[in-house]
Amino acid sequence: MVSIENVSFAYRKKPVFNGLNLRFEAGHVYGLLGKNGTGKSSLLRNIAGLLFPQKGNIVVNGFTPGDRLPVFLQDVFMVPEEFYLPDISVPDFIKSYVPFYPRFNSDKFRDYISIFEIPADSTLQNMSYGQKKKVLISFALASNAKLLLMDEPTNGLDIMSKSQLRKILAQALDEERCIIISTHQVKDLENLIDRITVIDDGKILFDETIDDISKKLSFRFAIDQTEVAEALYAESSLAGNVIVTANTEGEESKIDLELLYKAIVTNSRKITQLFHA
């Protein structure tokens, strides 16, 4: 689906990432995690062909994104964090943009905006930022593009809307579609993501499946201070200390992506050794 080989990118003299290697396959939801300014959005734009790497190659479904061929564009949809929508009604928006996506499913679109509780005849400019984002997400999913790129999709959404988004994304995933979600709000989507990629300072710190994470790491409460001191990551809570440690007992625990991210950023060397021993 997406192959990134030895890719380097910079804004003028400011390097963003160097020698990046990644693969994204169909049938999965990928979580691209990292602090603001670490290159997540730039990577998505390179994949979409909106930015161009200085070195290396990006191939999406056999196409080079930077060529911007129509057959490539009809199968890729990016939901950016910041966007502009024209001052038109939702039906007119659909009428204007549907021709670019030949597999667009109008029934699915109506289902999605119904779940999001968006009036079908609303005018876009009279909507809040969160409502506009929900219209754009609904269009993206209804486009049936094989590659869906989402940059901080939960920003601007309230608690109920985030729940609705999880429901819609779960419905939309199939074995031919790849969804890559860039976010720092990992709690919002942790039950959907099945592979985690962490970027920090333009480098890949971590890239593993949820299944492998659950086999290698344990997430639990601990009272014993020796256990806390030996953990890969620990933080105090009202009930004691919650820790991330090596899963030596072979018992799978519920993954906490927020704790996982903190553990990776603060203790990447030991965690990398654990996964590649």
Give the pLDDT score at 49. 95
| Separation CA 128–CA 5 (nearest Å) | 40
Q: Region 111-140: what's the mean pLDDT? A: 89
Q: Domain 2-201 in CATH: superfamily?
A: P-loop containing nucleotide triphosphate hydrolases (3.40.50.300)
What pTM did the predictor assign?
A: 0.91
pLDDT of 70 reads 94
Domain ranges of the chain: 2-201, 210-275
In which band, very low, low, confident or very high, does the pLDDT at 217 lie, cut at 50, 70 and 90? very high
Mean pLDDT of the chain: 89
Please report, rounded to a whole number, the percentage of residues in the chain having pLDDT higher than 90. 46
Spatial strand order of the sheet with 147-151 comes to: 76-79, 147-151, 178-183, 29-33, 195-200, 203-209
Q: What is the pLDDT of residue 126?
A: 86
Length of the chain in residues, anyone?
Answer: 277
Alpha-carbon dihedral sign for residues 202, 207, 213, 216: negative
Distance CA 156, CA 185 (A): 12
pLDDT average, residue stretch 255-261 = 88
What distance in Å separates the CA atoms of residue 200 and residue 238, rounded to the nearest whole number?
30
Q: Quote the pLDDT of residue 69.
A: 95
More confident residue, 138 or 186: 138
Average pLDDT over residues 244-256: 85
pLDDT at site 71: 94
Going by pLDDT thresholds of 50, 70 and 90, the confidence category of residue 37 is confident
What is the rounded distance in angstroms from the CA atom of residue 272 to the CA atom of residue 103?
41
Residue 166 pLDDT: 87
